[in-house]
C-alpha cells in the first residue's frame, strides 16, 4: 500500500477503499492486454513444468516408451484394441481398389490383368503371408498402434512359372528405423533420428536395421528414399516420425483399466462371503466364533437351527452407484483422443437414436476419408503403384509406363439405404455429382460396373425379358418400352 493510500485510510477510509478497487480493476485490464492467460506463471501453473522443445525432439525422446505402452494397451485393453480394429476396418476394409488410367485401352487392359494377378497373390508379400489388401490392413494397423510404418521395395527376378510382376513388399515394424542414428548439420548431409537429409533439408534415405533390433543385434544401413515408403500421420510442419494414435490417452486408459479391475475384484470378494454366524463369549459376553458352521451351501427354502445365543448376519455387497456415469465420462474422453464417437469406441449403442447415431457416423466417416486421402493413399498406395509399373517395365511385362491410377476406397455402409439411394439418384440427375463418383462412393469400380451393365443389357435383350432393374422399362406400364432399345451391337 503506497503512502497516499495510507493517508486516505487514516482520514477518509471510503476514498481509500474506492482507490484500491480502481487500482485492482486497472491491474486486471493491464494483465489482459499484456499477455495471454495461458502464458502466465501464476500458482495455477506451478505444477505445469514444460520445456520449449521442437516437435521432433519432443516426440522422438518419448517415442520408444510411447510405442511400448501403446502396444501393451492393444494387447490387454479391449477398448484400445477395438479402436485400432475399427479404424483399420473403416479405412481399408476389404481393400482400397486400383483402376489403371491411360489413353491406350490395350495398355489399360494389360495393366489391369497384371495388377489383379499380382495384388491377389501372396507372392506380393515378402513374407508370403497375405495379398496386397492384407498388406494394406497390416500397414494401417501398425500406424495406429506404433505411430508409423515402413514398407521396403524388393525387386527380384521374373519367375516364368508365375509370370507375376517381380515386386515384393516388405512391411517393417518402425523399430527397424535406427532412431539413435544422428549427425549434426554441416556442409553436407545430416541425419536426424535415422532419417538422412541433404544440405537443403530434403530426405535422401533411411537408416534401417537388417533385423529387428529387439531380437537380433545388427548395424543399420542406408536405404534410399525411393525404396522406402514411410507412412505416418503428419500433424506438425517438419515432422519426421509419427507417434501412436492413443498417445494422448494412454494414462487415461491405464487409470480406467485399473479402476474397472478394482471394482470387479471388490464385487467378487464381497460375493464370496454370504453369511456370518456368531455366538456370545461366556466370559465377556462378546460374540465369538467357536468353529461350528452352518451349511456351507445356501439353497432356497433351507431352514438352519441356531444354538442359543447364536446370531446370523448377511453381507451387504458394495454399491456400484455412480460407476456407470464415471465409466461413460472416461470412455468419452478416450474416444475423443482416438478421433471417434463414444458409440464407435465403446460399442455402447444403448442411448443412440437415429439422428445422433447418424451424426456420429458421418463425423467418423469424415475422419476416415481424411486418413485415406491425406495419408494412406499418397504416402503408400501411390508409391507402390509407381514401384509396380517400374517393375513391370523392367521385367518386360509392360512396354508403356504412361499409366496413372485412380483409387476406390471401401464403400461406406448406409444408415438408411432407401433414402440415401434416392438422394444419390437426384444428385446425379441434377448434375451435382457424376455417376462414376456415386459408384466409387459405394466402393465399386465404375469400369467394372459399366461392363457388367452392358453384359446384362445384352443378355436381357437376347432373352426377350424386361426386368424392372433395366431403366428402359417402366414397371407401372406393365413392361411397355418407354424408349427405343439400345442397339445390341453396342
Residues 240-267 have pLDDT tens digits of: 999 999 999 999 999 999 988 888 888 8
Q: What residues pair up with 405 in beta bridges, in sequence order?
A: 100
Q: How confident is the model at residue 479 (pLDDT cuts 50, 70, 90)?
A: very low
Whether residues 230 and 329 fall in one domain: no
**Do 85 and 222 share a structural domain?**
yes
In the structure grid, which three cell numbers stand for residue 127, read together? 513374407
213 shares a domain with 159: yes
Residue 350, pLDDT above cutoff 60? yes
Per-residue pLDDT at 481 exceeds 70: no
Query: Do 121 and 86 share a structural domain?
Result: yes
In-domain check, residue 37: yes
Give yes or no: residues 240 and 278 share one domain. Answer: no
* Helix boundaries (H) for 372-485: 382-394, 417-429, 435-441, 446-463
Angle, to 10 degrees, between the axis of helix 105-119 and the axis of helix 382-394?
110
Per-residue confidence (pLDDT) for residue 298, from 0 to 100? 60
Judge whether 96 and 407 are in contact, CB under 8 Å: yes
Integer Cα distance of 98 and 118 in angstroms? 12
Portion of the chain with pLDDT greater than 70, in percent = 82
Residues 6+ apart with CB under 8 A from 116: none
Q: In angstroms, rounded to a whole number, what is the distance separating the alpha carbons of residues 167 and 158? A: 9
Q: Is the CB of residue 60 less than 8 Å from the CB of residue 179?
A: yes
Question: Does residue 281 lie in a domain region?
Answer: yes
Residues 125 and 269 in one domain: no
10 or 424: which leads in pLDDT: 424
pLDDT at 278: 75
Domain shared by 79 and 41, yes or no: no
| pLDDT of amino acid 146 | 96
Instruction: Measure the CA–CA gap between 186 and 206, rounded to whole angstroms.
Output: 18
Alpha carbons 386 and 415: distance in angstroms, whole number: 37
* 26 and 72 housed in the same domain: no
Least reliable range by pLDDT among 110-114, 291-295, 442-446:
291-295
pLDDT of residue 75: 94
Rounded CA-CA distance 296/274 in Å is 9
The residue out of 226, 248, 270 marking a domain boundary is 248
The verdict on residue 111 lying in a domain is yes
- Long-range pairs of 54-63 with CB within 8 A, sequence gap ≥ 24: 55/236, 55/238, 55/239, 56/192, 56/193, 56/238, 56/239, 56/240, 56/241, 59/239, 59/241, 59/243, 60/179, 60/193, 60/240, 60/241, 62/243, 63/147, 63/179, 63/241, 63/243
Alpha helices in 77-219 (DSSP H): 78-91, 105-119, 132-146
In a domain, 198, yes or no: yes
Residues 238 and 260 in one domain: no
Residue 44 has pLDDT above 70, yes or no: no
Question: Looking at 15-19, 115-119, 135-139, 392-396, which range is the least confident one?
Answer: 15-19
Examine residue 223 and state whether it is found in any structural domain, yes or no: yes
Q: How far apart are CA 245 and CA 370, in angstroms?
A: 15
Same domain for 176 and 288, yes or no, is: no
Most confident of 29-43, 202-216, 321-335, 442-456: 202-216
pLDDT at 447: 82
Point out which residues pair with 168 in neighbouring strands.
154
In a domain, 461, yes or no: no
Identify which of 270, 280, 310, 281 has the alpha carbon closest to the alpha carbon of residue 294: 310
pLDDT at 490 over 50: no
Share of the chain above pLDDT 90, in %: 48
Instruction: Look up the domain containing 311 and give its range.
Output: 254-346
pLDDT value for 451:
86
Q: Please, which residues have CB within 8 angstroms of residue 479's CB and are 6 or more apart in sequence?
A: 466, 473
Helix 250-272 to helix 55-76 angle (10° resolution) is 30
Question: What was the pLDDT predicted at 281?
Answer: 66
Residue 148 maps to a domain: yes
Q: Are residues 104 and 207 in the same domain?
A: yes
Higher pLDDT, 285 or 139: 139
Q: Indicate the residue among 323, 346, 369 that finishes a domain.
A: 346
Q: Is residue 465 part of a domain?
A: no
Q: Which tens digits make up the pLDDT trace of 268-309?
A: 877 776 677 777 765 555 555 555 555 556 666 666 667 777
Count of structural domains within the chain: 3
Q: Are 86 and 334 in contact (CB under 8 A)?
A: no
Residue 91 sits in the same domain as residue 212: yes
Backbone angles phi, psi at 179, to 5 degrees: -65, -20
Residue 58: the pLDDT is 76
Residue that finishes a domain, picked among 346, 371, 389: 346
Q: Please report the pLDDT score of residue 480 as a whole number.
A: 45
Range of 116-120, 364-368, 475-479 with top mean pLDDT: 116-120
For the chain, the average pLDDT equals 84
Section 311-317 average pLDDT: 73
Half-sphere CA count of 105, side-chain side, radius 13 A: 1
Amino acid at each position: 500500500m503506497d503512502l497516499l493510500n495510507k493517508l486516505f485510510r487514516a482520514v477518509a477510509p471510503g476514498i481509500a477503499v474506492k482507490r484500491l478497487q480502481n487500482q485492482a480493476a486497472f491491474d486486471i485490464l493491464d494483465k489482459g492486454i499484456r499477455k495471454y492467460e495461458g502464458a502466465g506463471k501464476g500458482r495455477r501453473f506451478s505444477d505445469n513444468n514444460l520445456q520449449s522443445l521442437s516437435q521432433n525432439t519432443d516426440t522422438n525422446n518419448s517415442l520408444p516408451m510411447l510405442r511400448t505402452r501403446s502396444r501393451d494397451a492393444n494387447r490387454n485393453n479391449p477398448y484400445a484394441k477395438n479402436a485400432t480394429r475399427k479404424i483399420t476396418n473403416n479405412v481399408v476394409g476389404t481393400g482400397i481398389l486400383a483402376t489403371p488410367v491411360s489413353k491406350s485401352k490395350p495398355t489399360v487392359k494389360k495393366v489391369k490383368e497384371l495388377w489383379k494377378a499380382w495384388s491377389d497373390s501372396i507372392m506380393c508379400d515378402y513374407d508370403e503371408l497375405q495379398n496386397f489388401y492384407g498388406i494394406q490392413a497390416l500397414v494401417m494397423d501398425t500406424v495406429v498402434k506404433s505411430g508409423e510404418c515402413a514398407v521396403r521395395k524388393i525387386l527380384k527376378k521374373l519367375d516364368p512359372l508365375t509370370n507375376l510382376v517381380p515386386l515384393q513388399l516388405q512391411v517393417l515394424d518402425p523399430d527397424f528405423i535406427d532412431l539413435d542414428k544422428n549427425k549434426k548439420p554441416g556442409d553436407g548431409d545430416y541425419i536426424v533420428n535415422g532419417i538422412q537429409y541433404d544440405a537443403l533439408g530434403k530426405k535422401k534415405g533411411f537408416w534401417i536395421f537388417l533385423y529387428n533390433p529387439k531380437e537380433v543385434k545388427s548395424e543399420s544401413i542406408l536405404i534410399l528414399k525411393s525404396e522406402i515408403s514411410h507412412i505416418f500421420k503428419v500433424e506438425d510442419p517438419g515432422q519426421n516420425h509419427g507417434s501412436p494414435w492413443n498417445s494422448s490417452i494412454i494414462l487415461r486408459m491405464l487409470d480406467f483399466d485399473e479402476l474397472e479391475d478394482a471394482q470387479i475384484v471388490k464385487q467378487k470378494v464381497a460375493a464370496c462371503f454370504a453369511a456370518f454366524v456368531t455366538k456370545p463369549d461366556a466370559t465377556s459376553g462378546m460374540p465369538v466364533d467357536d468353529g461350528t458352521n452352518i451349511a456351507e451351501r445356501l439353497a432356497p427354502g433351507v431352514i438352519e437351527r441356531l444354538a442359543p445365543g447364536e446370531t446370523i448376519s448377511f453381507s451387504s455387497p458394495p454399491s456400484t452407484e455412480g460407476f456407470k456415469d464415471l465409466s461413460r465420462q472416461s470412455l468419452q474422453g478416450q474416444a475423443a483422443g482416438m478421433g471417434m464417437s463414444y458409440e464407435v469406441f465403446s460399442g455402447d449403442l444403448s442411448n443412440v437414436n437415429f439422428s445422433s447415431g447418424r451424426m456420429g457416423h458421418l463425423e467418423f466417416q469424415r475422419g476416415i476419408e481424411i486418413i485415406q486421402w491425406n495419408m494412406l493413399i499418397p504416402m503408400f498406395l501411390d508409391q507402390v503403384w509407381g514401384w509396380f509399373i517400374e517393375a513391370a517395365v523392367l521385367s518386360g511385362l509392360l512396354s508403356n509406363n504412361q499409366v496413372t491410377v485412380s483409387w476406390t476406397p471401401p464403400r461406406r455402409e448406409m444408415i438408411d439405404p432407401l433414402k440415401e439411394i434416392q438422394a444419390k439418384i437426384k444428385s446425379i440427375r441434377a448434375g451435382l455429382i457424376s455417376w462414376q463418383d456415386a459408384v466409387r462412393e459405394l466402393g465399386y469400380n465404375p469400369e467394372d460396373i459399366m461392363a457388367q451393365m452392358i453384359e446384362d443389357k445384352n443378355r436381357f435383350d437376347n432373352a426377350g425379358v424386361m426386368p424392372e432393374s433395366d431403366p428402359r422399362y417402366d414397371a407401372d406400364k406393365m413392361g411397355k418400352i418407354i424408349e427405343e432399345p439400345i442397339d445390341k451391337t453396342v
